[in-house]
Structure 1
Amino acid sequence: MEALFIYLIKSSGLIVLFYLAYFLMLRKETFFNNNRWFLLAGLITSVLLPFVFITKIIWVEPTVTPINWSNVRITNYTEEKTFEAYLPILTALAYGIGVLLLLAKFAFDFYSLNAVLKGKIIQQQADFKFIDIKENVAPFSYFNTIVYNSALYSASELENILEHEKVHSEQNHTVDVLISRLFCTVFWFNPFIWLYQKAILQNLEFIADNEASKRISDKKAYQITLLKITTQENCVAITNHFYQSLIKKRIVMLNKNQSNKRNSWKYALVLPVLVAFVFLFQIKTIAQEKTNQNVSKSVLDVVTTINKNFSDEELKKKTEFFKKEFNCDLIFSEIERNSSNEIKGITINYNGNLYGNGTYKQHGTSAIKDIYIKHESGKINISDAKIDAKIKNEKITASSDKTLSIDKEIFINGEQVTQNDMDKLDPDEIERMDVNKKNDQQEIRIVTKKFHKTLTENDIYINGQKVDKNELLQLDQNTIDKMDVNKKEKTIRIITKTNTQTFNDKDIPTPPTPPKFPDGPMPVAPAPDLSQIPAPPTHPSNLDDKKAMAKFEKKIKEYEKKMEFFEPDMTAYEKKVEEVMAKRKKIFEKEMAKYEEAMKK
């Protein structure tokens, strides 16, 4: 659930980025087709880029003092659920309801479109299907189908309208409409997606107007047709309408000089911001421990122990191991067991090109003593417990040229085990191995992958302070007094003995919980109020009348200036957000001061 929310937030941020880039730099340019692909690329990028990650590997030094968990008191506890625990579920529920409602509206719009088209006569001309209806509906196109009411327009007006709708159909503008509608359904909570959809639809009208005006001889008549049908507001959803509420902008764009091609550099400005997004939010950091590649893994298997409790399967694994590691045939035969299934008799034969041949036997009425199979200096040596002391005093040399003692202590996940337990461990399950020498004694510490994963998946706190896995493994196990594991919250909390020293026979209180940065509702982003938009100015009847045209152009500029009322609202919105965050920061700083004072006590 959390991953989905993070994805939606990242995608929403990218949508805002592309919309602002279009609104601030491109909306007044006449690169209509380029703007179309820029807006569509913005939607596709916002969906795909959050899946792109750069992996960064940090190498850390391996630890040599794992915690002996067997000496630590572990308790499990669960906490009662608070409102915060239900908040993700309520948020997901609200989001799901919004999506379902918009999907229902989407389906209803398809039904309404089908109701308009059902049973109508279709006239096929070239690649287009024309439907002449009687309903008072604004002309529209849906893929290669063009719908209009011929009774509402003159022949010349109808010609202008059809040329406009043919452009929509030829360039598959319906696909853009459906894609923008789908994004509004998924990202309905983001106010900018609705502005983004409006920008897409408006730009499609610019494209159709621009291309249609090139095919029509009387450009003036085309503009008059636009002004004539501004009062017709009956439109079918999910289609390309001839009518748009921003009719003034369409007329302005028709009369605007073509933008200089040198202004195309504006499209590239979004690339550095996308790169910054990747480096700020799309980097996965993976910590890997350095390993000593010079130490041969045969250090662990220099001495292999066979004891009375070995099963036939375990003996078989020893045979396979010696064959794989040393190319030596190790054969166990004449195996006898007592009533407790303990081995009381066994014969071991070994045969290898480098080791020669040999046989070892141990048979009796009682269980066998431990048998040591030692690989040293290219030779196989098998002995029993009677000469164990001699083996312990011998030294073996690893490939790292460090002298290690056969007398050793073995720890798996912090718990001391026997040689037999280590021999049973599957090498593929080992995450890390540390080999240390203390005086004449060898110490081997092993961390399994399962245990390593457990530490990685949990948040670790020592005396109330969050630490990473490596700090935990470096902690002296003798200083641990108590450890609490919360499986539900996936946390490990450790209290050390220095933190529980008694005073007047009473324990010092557990350190306080660090404060969280305050959260809460943010100011609502402004949305343009279409009711404030004035009526478009009357187009001069004579385009050659310079005085009338100058007056018209002046009104156009004034009207365009009023249309930009939304920009101050956005500035005010940003200021409100800054004020809210500043207040929350002050509250957080006060809480942090209290927390630090409590920590000192």
Structure 2
Amino acid sequence: METLFIYIAKSSGLIALFFLAYYFLLRKETFFTANRWFLLAGLFTSLILPWIVFTTIVWVDPTPSDIDWSKIPMTAVQEESFEINWYLVLAVAYIIGIVLFLVQFALDFYNLNRVLKGKTTQQQADHKFIDLKENIAPFSYFNTIVYNSSLYSEAEMESILEHEKIHSEQYHTIDVLITRFFCILFWFNPFIWLYKKAILQNLEFIADSEASKNISDKKAYQLTLLKITAHENCVVLTNHFYQSLIKKRIVMLNKNQSKKWNSWKYALIIPALAAFVFSFQMEVIAKEKNQKPKAEQTASNDADVYKITKNTTEAELKEKAETISKNYGIAVQFSATKRNANNELTAITVELRKGTEISNNRNVNSSEAIKPFGIVITKDSNGKISIDFIEEDKSVEKLVVANNVVSSNTPISADTQIYINEEKSDKTAMDKLDPKEIATMNVTKNGEKKEIRIITGKYSIGDMNEIYINGNKASQNELDQLESGSIERMDVTNSFGKKAIRITTKNGTHYQDKNMPVPPVPPTAPVMKFKTPVAPVFPKAPKAPKGDPINGDKKAWKDFEKKMEDYDAKMKKLEPQMEAFDKQMAEFDKQMEPFNKEMEVFNEKMKAFDKQMEEYLADKKDNK
């Protein structure tokens, strides 16, 4: 469950990262279509990238695997008191939030269908038009455009339809539904709601920009925008002509096109994603080096070599396995064999085992034919057997048998209870364990009762509900940074169905890289209490007569001039109301100003953090 919360936290952080990049770098640019794909890419990146983990193998010197039961510390087992499982509480709260927002989505979908159901539609080319009688703002839903023609003039309807056609033709409804899905999934993250607002606003910029190209009178289009803002009865899950940030739409309509060289800003997200990957998506796996043989050992050994090449057939592999088993009593299994079109071996897995005494394996997997290698079995003067794999270049990866022996004669009392990976087991199963597979082992004594608890490398510590290091609750990241050599004892407990791992180190401390820079905390977005300003009702502009004033109907043009004088007088009377509207919009900008300043400070801190991370990673790479 902790893994799920870590994934959600990483995804939420990426959503915040992409929103901040858009807010500070791209929102004032006129690359509306590019911004659309950038914002959508941010959502899908936040969903996929936390699943991708890059692994790095670090080879370490092998540790002795002989088990001395007499030197294993004994500790008393204490029953744990009842504790609240906060992961479970958070999971329940998270699921309740998702359910509530899904119910809201279902209600919105139901209301939309109720508006569309049973209405007369007119099919024109790829679009369906529905003319309603209700007082509702125009909107589009996929290829369906809905409006009330009785509320607008012919010129206004032309602007509205051009706008909604752009939404329909560019499938903006899909963007709306995707954004709604992410709002349900990350409902607790304030940045996803700001992200949703940015996407919807950018879709309106796209539609305004494309529609204004097909309309001769851009001023009339802007006046139509202001008129539509009076209709607050909008349908969700749609691209509606009305949007609250009408002032920004008008500003963007009249803004000069951004210079192409400004598109370099999109590339700035790449270093940030690289820092995220290096910080959170890199996993280091430690593997033990195989020991090299001593010259005096190999000199006196009687060795048999069983060579395997790219042309070795399945029958020959079977024959070699039978021969090794017959001569040495070693079970040999050849598996996962793959061959190319020329019937040459490209992959093979070799597993060798003799009871609990000898265990070795080799895995070869390539797109090309394998290189020849050999299985070397040696027997010294004392009759002790060891297994090597030797390459064609004669370099030997020696495995000393003494380090692979699990003594089956170690005395263990009959009343001792044995647990392997939290499952009750017995001494027979314990004797069959390969010491190389054992990650931790602990012997505890509770009164006269003794317990042996063994955790193998196959057991996932990620299944633990809680992790404690020296009595303090720790995270998976702290556990990953713990040096294996510093561990004195490791206990795994299971109380009330909740698993916990408790680690005690030798010196009471554990390793943490204190040189790693700490990222700054982003500011909290303000809670908006701002009601959308209502624009004044504009008078209907007179329609110009056909022709021109010189060659056309002069009487009609004279009447038109009088009507325009009346229209201008009415518009002049509306200037105080427009000034009040502008003041209300300025108040909104004022409320956002402190947050904008905090975001500027945060951006500077992020720049410093990125620089520190670059230096930290460079130093870490040099130290390797």
Q: How does the TM-score come out when normalised to structure 2?
A: 0.60
1:569 aligned to which of 554, 572, 594: 594
Q: Any idea what SS the aligned residue of 1:212 has?
A: helix
| Alignment match, 1:367 | none
Residue 28 (structure 1) shift? 1.1
Match of 2:11 in 1: 11
Amino acid in structure 2 at the alignment position of 1:486: T
- In the aligned structure 2, how far is the partner of 1:495 from the partner of 1:215? 73
User: Contact between 1:191 and 1:525, CA under 8 Å: does it hold in 2?
Assistant: yes
Q: How far did residue 240 of structure 1 move? A: 0.6
Counterpart check, 1:431 vs 2:436 = yes
The equivalences for 1:71-86 within 5 A come to 72=72, 73=74, 75-82=76-83, 85-86=84-85
Q: Distance in 2 between matches of 1:52 and 1:405?
A: 38
Take 2:460 and 2:157, find their aligned partners in 1: how far apart are those partners?
Answer: 73
Residues 289 and 78 from structure 1, CA distance in 2 versus in 1: closer, same or farther, beyond 3 angstroms? Answer: farther
Whether 1:255 and 2:260 are equivalent positions in the alignment is no
CA distance in 1, matches of 2:483, 2:493: 16
Residue matched to 1:216: 215
What is the distance in 1 between the residues matched to 2:140 and 2:79?
61
Check the 8 A contact 2:387/2:401 in 1, yes or no: no
| 1:189-588 matched pairs, under 5 angstroms | 189-292=188-291, 294=293, 323-325=322-324, 328=327, 410-412=405-407, 415=410, 429=434, 431=436, 451-453=456-458, 470-471=484-485, 485-487=492-494, 488-491=498-501, 525-531=525-531, 562-570=587-595
Superposition CA RMSD, Å: 5.1
Q: How big is each residue's C-alpha offset from its partner over 1:361-392, in whole Å with a ceiling of 9 and x where there is no partner?
A: xxxxxxxxxxxxxxxx99999xxxxxxxxx86
Letter of the structure 2 residue corresponding to residue 32 of structure 1: F
Query: Shift of residue 64 of structure 1?
Result: 2.0
Are residues 396 and 243 of structure 1, via their aligned partners in 2, closer, same or farther at CA, if it must alter by over 3 Å?
closer
- The answer to whether the aligner puts 1:54 opposite 2:54 as a matched pair is yes
**1:60 aligned partner, one-letter code:** V
Q: Does 1:99 align with 2:103?
A: no
Q: What's the secondary structure of 1:263's corresponding residue? A: helix
SS at match of 2:87: helix
2:23 aligned residue: 23
Do 1:144 and 1:170's aligned partners in 2 also have CA atoms closer than 8 Å? yes
Q: Is the 8 A contact 1:131 1:147 kept in 2?
A: yes
Q: Deviations over 1:108-161 (max 9, x none)?
A: 111001111111111000000001111111000000000011111111111111
Matches within 5 A, 1:177-192: 177-192=176-191
CA 1:155 to 1:284, structure 2 compared with 1: closer, same or farther past 3 Å? same
Deviations 1:563-587 (A, max 9, x none): 433544336878999xxxxxxxxxx
**Is the 1:132–1:148 contact (alpha carbons within 8 Å) kept by the matching residues of 2?**
yes
Map of 1:163 onto structure 2: 162
For residues 37 and 413 of structure 1, do their structure 2 counterparts lie closer, same or farther at Cα, with a shift above 3 Å needed? farther
* Rounded Cα–Cα distance in structure 2 between residues aligned with 1:398 and 1:145: 74
Segment drifting more, 112-121 vs 459-468: 459-468
**Sequence identity (%):** 48
Residues 534 and 581, structure 2, Cα contact 8 Å, conserved in 1:
no
Structure 1: 5+ residue stretches without partners:
304-318, 331-376, 382-390, 434-447, 476-481, 500-510, 515-521, 578-601
Deviations 1:262-299 (A, max 9, x none): 11111111111111111011111211111125489x99
Q: Note the alpha carbon deviations across 1:451-503, whole angstroms, 9 max, x for none.
A: 34459778696899989574278x7xxxxxx985524544355699xx9xxxx
SS for the counterpart of 1:530 is: coil
Letter of the structure 2 residue corresponding to residue 451 of structure 1: T
Partner SS for 2:183 = helix
Measure, in 2, the Cα distance between the counterparts of 1:572 and 1:185: 29
Aligned with 2:291: secondary structure? coil
1:178–1:238 CA contact under 8 A, matched in 2: yes
SS at match of 2:130: strand
* Residue 8 of structure 1: how far off its partner (Å): 1.0
Contact 2:132 2:148 in 1 (8 A): yes
Aligned equivalents of 1:213 and 1:401: distance in 2? 73
Report the AA paired with residue 181 of structure 1. R
On the 8 A contact 1:123/1:131 being kept in 2, the answer is yes
Secondary structure of the residue aligned to 2:82 is coil
- How many angstroms does 1:77 deviate by? 3.6
Going from structure 1 to structure 2, the CA distance change for 1:162 and 1:413 (only over 3 Å counts) comes to: farther
Give yes or no for contact 2:176–2:238 (8 Å, CA) kept in 1.
yes
- Mapped to 2, the partners of 1:114 and 1:229 lie a distance apart of 23
Q: What is the deviation of 1:259? A: 1.0
Where relative contact order (Cα < 8 A, 6+ residues apart) is larger, the structure is 1
Q: Residues 101 and 184 of structure 2 are in contact (CA less than 8 Å); yes or no, is this contact kept in structure 1?
A: yes
CA distance in 1, matches of 2:431, 2:319: 14
Aligned partners of 1:413 and 1:451 also within 8 Å: no
Q: Say if 2:227 and 2:538, in contact at 8 Å, map to a contact too.
A: no
Give the 3-state SS of the residue equivalent to 1:131 in structure 2.
strand
Change (3 A) 1:241 1:401: closer
Q: 1:468 to 1:113 in 2, by over 3 A?
A: closer
Partners in 1 of 2:510 and 2:397 — Cα distance?
Answer: 50
Paired residue secondary structure (1:94)? helix
The residue identity in structure 1 corresponding to 2:39 is L
